[in-house]
Amino acid sequence: METDIRIQFQEMFGKNPLVAASPGRVNLIGEHTDYNEGFVLPAAVDKIMMAAMAPNESKTLEVYANQYRQRYSFALDQIRPVEGWPTYLLGMIYFLKEKNLPIGGIDVIIDGNVPLGAGMSSSAALCSCFGFALNELFTLGQTRMDLALTGQKTEHQFAGVKCGIMDQFASLHGKAGHVIKLDCRSLQYEYIPFDFPDYRIVLVNTMVSHALAETQYNIRRQQCEEAVGVMQKINPAIRSLRDVSMEQLLQAKEKLDEVVFRRSHFIVSENLRLLAGCKLLAEGNLGGFGRLMYETHKGLSQEYEVSCPQSDYLVDLARTIPGVLGSRQMGGGFGGCTINIVRQDVVLDFQSIIGTGYQQFCGKTPEIYVTRIEDGARLLGNNGY
């Protein structure tokens, strides 16, 4: 893929590019906790977005995306949000230039194999690889954390999704063979070895694009904020649901709207699950960790209500397959992928059972990805542009 994008760039623009890649991510546990200042446990995987890039003299962004076979041109002094994938590139340029960083005209080709709409954060991977490439091309001096925060700002203000920091952080900070325990309030993080060579992380794509997720995602965030507003009247020190203990939440149940209580109960429970899960991984107890994943899915489906019948079916079916330790919906919800921990010697059986069962359930053949945990954003190959 890297060789192809270099050749294509040379043919399209007549020069050699710098090529950067940034991966999609999985999140083992800790869903919807990031924008509640809680904990998450992501890892970068071996599905990437790439940006091939070289400077031009036109003071414009000239960009072509292979996935969409679309080409656009944007003047750098007239940047504003637009519909579709280019808004992520424009947002990164806008917010980097807002820091008075010297970004000139560029020619770009975007390509990659992070599944779109599957909950693996293709948009974060796009922002991250593009920002990483800009940083290298123009020697901007931005840290990986700087680029992650710029990507989050782009999601908020150019794409209209009030996401947390997890996706961008994992795409830029991933480390092969490790998951990342990230405190989304302090942004302190710890690499935790995920050393289970007999097991694989397998994603099953429901083939349901989570089109509802953006609107419902923002509604869930508002519901969490509503809960915090009520809890602050009881204890002004509470800043987010991260600060709420289960005992405090249960004591305040009568003061909360019933739906808001269920949303809050999931978030408080999920933070507790994640901390327990990190301890289990450190002890080498992958089976116990998998059981927590099933608990998370139950909460996502019944309390946070961001699952869908297809995801519920896949998790229920996975539970019946020997050698599957855990399964749950992953990502914002309403489709996308389920994440499964599967013993390596039953991966083929898992693929066959899941594929056949899902076809019978809804008439669709799911895409199944057997992944490895890899490094985060990086330059590829010889970048003698």
Name the catalytic one among 34, 107, 167, 243. Answer: 167
Is 167 tagged catalytic? yes
Q: Are strands 60-65 and 106-112 parallel, antiparallel or unpaired?
A: parallel
Backbone angles phi, psi at 68, to 5 degrees: -105, -10
Token match 């890899």: residue? Answer: 374
Closest by CA to 64, choosing from 76, 50, 77, is 50
Adjacent-strand bridge partners of 139: none
Contacts of 78 by beta carbon, 8 Å cutoff, 6+ apart: none
Other CB atoms closer than 10 Å to residue 275's CB: what's the count?
A: 15
Closest by CA to 339, choosing from 203, 191, 226, 185, is 203
Q: Do 13 and 54 contact (CB within 8 A), yes or no?
A: yes
Adjacent-strand bridge partners of 65: 70, 110
Q: How far apart (Å, rounded) are the C-alpha atoms in residues 331 and 213? A: 9
Catalytic residues: 167
